[in-house]
Structure 1
Amino acid sequence: MSATDGTPLTGATVLLTGASGGLGSALAAALDQRGAIVTAVGRDANRLNLLPARGGRLVADLCDSDACEEAVELASEATGSLDVLINAVGVVAFGPATDLSAVVLRELLEINVLVPMLLARAALPQMSRGGTLANISGVIAEPGRAMAHMAAYAASKAAVRGFDEALAREARRLGVRVLDVRPPHTETGLATRALAGQAPALPRGLDPADVAETICEAIESGARELPSEAFGS
């Protein structure tokens, strides 16, 4: 399989992080329906145990680089390699940038920016040629889409998009495709679990199941970018 091909999900070994979240759980279901061998990683053991995960489950804090290594090892245990990594880890904070505490800013950047970097560092050496690494930056990372009272969150997601753009060039030598995923607002419940502040008035978001289907289709089709308009909003 060449790097320009899609990655078939039937029988693929998939590491799904953030699996206990709203989008993560929808992705776990969509991947399982396609016959993928999913290793699900999250912080909520109860929600994780409800997910289809033929590759196993791991409760972990991925801000710890050792946990990232453990997750990759678990996912690649059966075949010795990893076909797909989907990173759906993320947190949000609301409020003027001048009002957010240093503690909140550090946690936001650590989870939204550092975790994708740590996962990529751990996963890429184990990924098979023709594999796909997908990070979710979101519509807010697109030019002109950042909102007031979401400056720190927008910055974290713009950092992910920049990381993906550069990583795609590096991973190409390994035959791995990096997919930057930018869905519009989705009804995952993330806004109700903010690190700080209260969400501004938002229109009704997309169904996580529909977003998960679009992401799976992009992985299989060979898409190299998944902008907000690809979700049909």
Structure 2
Amino acid sequence: MDGKVALVTGGSRGIGAAIALALAQEGADVAITYVHGEEAAREVVAKIEATGRRGVTLRADAADPAAAVGAVERTVAALGRLDVLVNNVGIGALGPLADFSAETVDQVMDVNVRSVFLTSQAAAVRLGHGGRIITIGSCMAQRVPGPGGTLYAMSKAALTGLTKALARELGGRGITANIVHPGPIDTDMNPAAGPYAQPQAAMTALGRFGTSGEVAAMVRYLASEEASYVTGTELSVDGGHAA
């Protein structure tokens, strides 16, 4: 990926940070967005720069339509072009169906769906032949193992439809679009040693949590030249959660 530029939304921690670093290790300059945790974002950029690549932090609230679109233009302004968009930003919302307010529904859909659409729309204008749009979904878009997941599963399932439509819309320009569904992943938001970890691990075929690096490896492949004939697909990195 030497000379290419990637934008990873929500790249200051967890899966997003691992993806940003993996792409930098492949030779890409990488911009990351964050809304909270500027120090963490700067630490990720320091690791990117340690690989010899350029890194940029962009504060952008995905719930703000202008910020979602602006992240693309700010990436191009800072790094000169855009070759890979990774839609990683997202928020969780689990609970009884009756407890979700209209405001909560709007918040989750604004961040998890609208921002992905708008950022992809803006990126499509900038991406050239060989461009990549890679979206991070969720294992709950394929299998909801228990109650409480209505809102989150809906928001992530919507991204599958968007991805397939993007593949058709942009395929004639040599741009691919794919979605990666992580299973239970060991992050600070959902630690493998946390109080809810055991039942999550038990739902997988492998009986364990995955790592951010394992998800990043799939994204790295999809961003590569080797994946130029892969588009419109759902790829699971879920330890067999959907098996």
Q: Indicate the TM-score class for this superposition, using the shorter chain for normalisation.
A: 0.7 to 0.9
Provide Cα deviations, 1:175-217, integer angstroms capped at 9, x if missing partner.
211111112221223348xxxxx96842142111121122102
Aligned to 1:34: 26
Aligned to 1:93: 93
Query: Is the 2:82–2:126 Cα contact (8 Å) retained in structure 1?
Result: yes
Q: Structure 1 residue 217 and structure 2 residue 209: aligned?
A: no
Q: Which moved more, 1:35-44 or 1:144-153?
A: 144-153
Q: Structure 1 residue 207 and structure 2 residue 211: aligned?
A: yes
Secondary structure in 2 matching 1:82: coil
Taking the aligned partners of 2:69 and 2:112, their CA distance within structure 1 comes to 18
Q: Structure 1 residue 227 and structure 2 residue 235: aligned?
A: yes
Deviation at 1:147, TM superposition (A): 3.4
Aligned to 2:51: none
The correspondence of residues 140-219 of structure 1 with structure 2, limited to 5 A, is 140-142=140-142, 144-145=143-144, 147-191=146-190, 201-203=199-201, 204-219=208-223
Tell me: CA distance 1:102–1:33, structure 2 relative to 1, closer, same or farther (3 Å). Answer: same
Deviation at 1:10, TM superposition (A): 2.5
Query: Is the 2:137–2:181 Cα contact (8 Å) retained in structure 1?
Result: yes
Secondary structure in 2 matching 1:27: helix
Q: Structure 1 residue 76 and structure 2 residue 72: aligned?
A: no
Query: Is the 1:214–1:231 Cα contact (8 Å) retained in structure 2?
Result: no
Provide Cα deviations, 1:142-179, integer angstroms capped at 9, x if missing partner.
2x445321111000001111111112111113321111
Query: Is the 1:31–1:216 Cα contact (8 Å) retained in structure 2?
Result: yes
Aligned to 2:42: 49
Deviation at 1:29, TM superposition (A): 1.5
Secondary structure in 2 matching 1:227: strand
Equivalent AA in structure 2 for residue 178 of structure 1: A
- Between the two proteins, the alignment pairs up a number of residues equal to 218
Tell me: CA distance 1:138–1:131, structure 2 relative to 1, closer, same or farther (3 Å). Answer: same
Identity level (%): 32
Query: Is the 1:19–1:48 Cα contact (8 Å) retained in structure 2?
Result: yes
Deviation at 1:135, TM superposition (A): 0.8
**Counterpart selection for 1:25 from 1, 5, 17:** 17
Answer 1 or 2: higher relative contact order, Cα 8 Å, separation at least 6.
1
Query: Is the 1:92–1:190 Cα contact (8 Å) retained in structure 2?
Result: no
Equivalent AA in structure 1 for residue 189 of structure 2: L
Provide Cα deviations, 1:67-125, integer angstroms capped at 9, x if missing partner.
23321122223664310000110111111111222222211111111110110111110
Aligned to 1:5: none
Taking the aligned partners of 2:182 and 2:29, their CA distance within structure 1 comes to 24
Equivalent AA in structure 2 for residue 50 of structure 1: E
Q: Which moved more, 1:76-85 or 1:203-212?
A: 76-85
Aligned to 1:195: none
Aligned to 1:12: 4
Cα RMSD between the aligned structures? 2.2
Tell me the TM-score normalized by structure 2. 0.81
Query: Is the 1:146–1:154 Cα contact (8 Å) retained in structure 2?
Result: no
Secondary structure in 1 matching 2:83: strand
Query: Is the 2:29–2:79 Cα contact (8 Å) retained in structure 1?
Result: no
Taking the aligned partners of 1:69 and 1:106, their CA distance within structure 2 comes to 18
Tell me the TM-score normalized by structure 1. 0.85
Structure 1 residue ranges without an equivalent (≥5): 1-8, 193-197
Tell me: CA distance 1:218–1:231, structure 2 relative to 1, closer, same or farther (3 Å). Answer: farther
Query: Is the 2:209–2:239 Cα contact (8 Å) retained in structure 1?
Result: no
